[in-house]
Amino acid sequence: MDNLAPELIDAIVELLRLPNGRLDQTSLKSCCLVASAFREPCQRRILQYLEMSCEEENASGGKLTLARVAACLARSPHLASYVTKLYVWVVPRDKASRWDEGFPAELLGRLTNVRVCELVCAYVDICWNDLPVGFSAAVLDWLTLQRGTMRVLGIYDQMADIPLPALHRIFAAAPKLRLETSTMEQGPVQLSDVLIAAEGLPVILQDLTLVDDPFTAALVRHPGFARYFRNLRSVVLSEPFATLPLLSLAAGTLECLELRYEDLHRRGNSPPFTFPHLPRLSQLTIAGLMIGLGGPQSPPGAYERSRASLTTLGLNIPSLTHITFQILTHFTARLIQHHPTTCPCLVPAAGLGQLDDVLSAHPTLTAVRVTLQDAGEVKDIHFNGFEASLKTAFAKVVAKGMLEVKFE
């Protein structure tokens, strides 16, 4: 087996995948024992995605702890270069393993080839200043060293009170940044906070996701962060009504925009949102619109607001080519009687006729896509009726061959 060509060995190892297309970790580990020539290509695939936890060994739920990863890399330093995707479960200091203050920096310092890093809070509302000893400082220093290598940074699941200096370093770390349900440290705006951004490093951020409206609103109003928004090409926002300054700053470069309506009931009284002039925007997604939950009365608020926004597409988004509506259904055995054709958000009487006129008349628009995502207890059996109601509502769009409807 050791005499096989490296290209053939690599092709064989690449076939070791599960039915869903993911790498088969068990088979890869077994394949390492077949012959020495198989060891490197198998190890490279096994370690390309590394998941580890800051928790103690007995509480990690079978995940690799930082201590175990560090011991492995100390024995075989060459393995560190195989790690390109890093996923870290973060816990508060009182639930973390005990280690010396310099330990996290030493471990992260070995991981020099990481392209994607995701920090996920294992517990709700973990404060940045309550992270394990040495961890937060080590992460920030490591992010600075990884500039130019890392492509995506994500922080998820309620990381609370991130200090402004830390946020500046987070925003400067990678071309793609995802912050979901995080909060920034509250306090007066200090001139020093603004100057922290000017560390002599060029802004590399191009793709930004901000999902949490209080955080988003506070962030875009802070004068120290405006510089990060001026070169954005792709943006995902959960609270468009509070982020007009961000879109205005990014107007000259923005090409893709997704607006998420996360909580229809809480935002039912939000004012209509008006797009600023976005001359380069070509792809627009309106996501999170719901039908079925609580009956047909629940969704009109979001549709009313998005429809009011979209009536100015021709003037404010002159280069638009694709618009997508992502709709989430919540049909359950109890609510199945709410047929989509009865939902006010889908029939022409709700005002979609006006939107049909706007979309069909847009000079550059080529596709209107509607995706229906089922999150109910039973599979949605009303897709045909849903599709029919859309074709009725968007008659002019259908006539131009632009409507695409699919069930996911």
Phi/psi for 121 (5° steps) reads -75, 125
Farthest CA pair distance, the chain: 72
Which residue in this structure is represented by tokens 């943006």? 235
Q: What is the pLDDT of residue 1?
A: 65
Burial tier of 194 (Cβ tally within 10 Å: 0-12, 13-18, 19+): middle
Q: Report which of 257, 266, 273, 285 is spatially closest to residue 373, judged by C-alpha positions.
A: 285
Looking up tokens 């890399």, which residue turns up? Answer: 73
Beta pairing partners, 252 = none
Q: What tens-digit pLDDT sequence spans the chain (408 residues)?
A: 667 788 888 888 888 888 877 788 788 888 888 778 888 888 888 889 999 988 876 555 567 888 889 999 999 999 999 999 999 999 888 888 778 778 889 999 999 999 999 999 888 778 888 888 889 999 999 999 998 899 999 998 778 888 888 888 899 999 999 988 777 766 554 545 545 555 566 889 999 998 876 677 777 777 778 889 989 999 998 766 667 788 889 999 999 999 887 554 444 455 566 788 999 999 999 886 655 444 443 444 555 556 566 776 777 899 999 999 887 665 444 444 444 444 444 444 345 567 888 899 999 999 999 887 765 544 555 667 677 778 888 889 999 999 998 877
3-state helix/strand/coil string of the chain: CCCCCHHHHHHHHHCCECCCCCECHHHHHHHCCCCHHHHHHHHHHHHCEEEEECECHHHCCCCEEHHHHHHHHHHCHHHHHHCCEEEEEECCHHHECCCCCCHHHHHHHHCCCCCEEEEEECCCCEEHHHCCCCHHHHHHHHHHHCCCCCCEEEEECCEECECHHHHHHHHCCCCEEEEECCCECCCCCCHHHHHHCCCCCCCCCCEEEEECHHHHHHHHHCHHHHHHCCCCCEEEECCHHHCHHHHHHCCCCCCEEEEECCCCCCCCCCCCCCCCCCCCCCEEEEEEEEECCCCCCCCHHHHHHHHHHHCCHHHHCCCCCEEEEEEEECCCCCCCCCCHHHCCCCCHHHCHHHHHHHHHHCCCCCEEEEEEEECCCCCCCCHHHHHHHHHHHCHHHHHCCCEEEEEC
CA distance 309 to 313: 8
The pLDDT, as a whole number, for residue 226 is 85
Identify the pLDDT of residue 252.
Answer: 93
Look at the alpha carbons of 74, 76, 78, 79 in this order and tell me if their dihedral is positive or negative: negative
What does DSSP say about strands 159-160 and 126-127: parallel, antiparallel, or unpaired? parallel
Number of Cβ within 10 Å of residue 258's Cβ equals: 19
Structure tokens at 137: 């400082």
Structure-token pair, residue 18: 């599960």
How many residues are there in the chain? 408
pLDDT value for 270: 56
d(CA 103, CA 257): 40
Global pTM? 0.83
Amino acid at 49: Y
Q: Give the type of residue at 335.
A: L
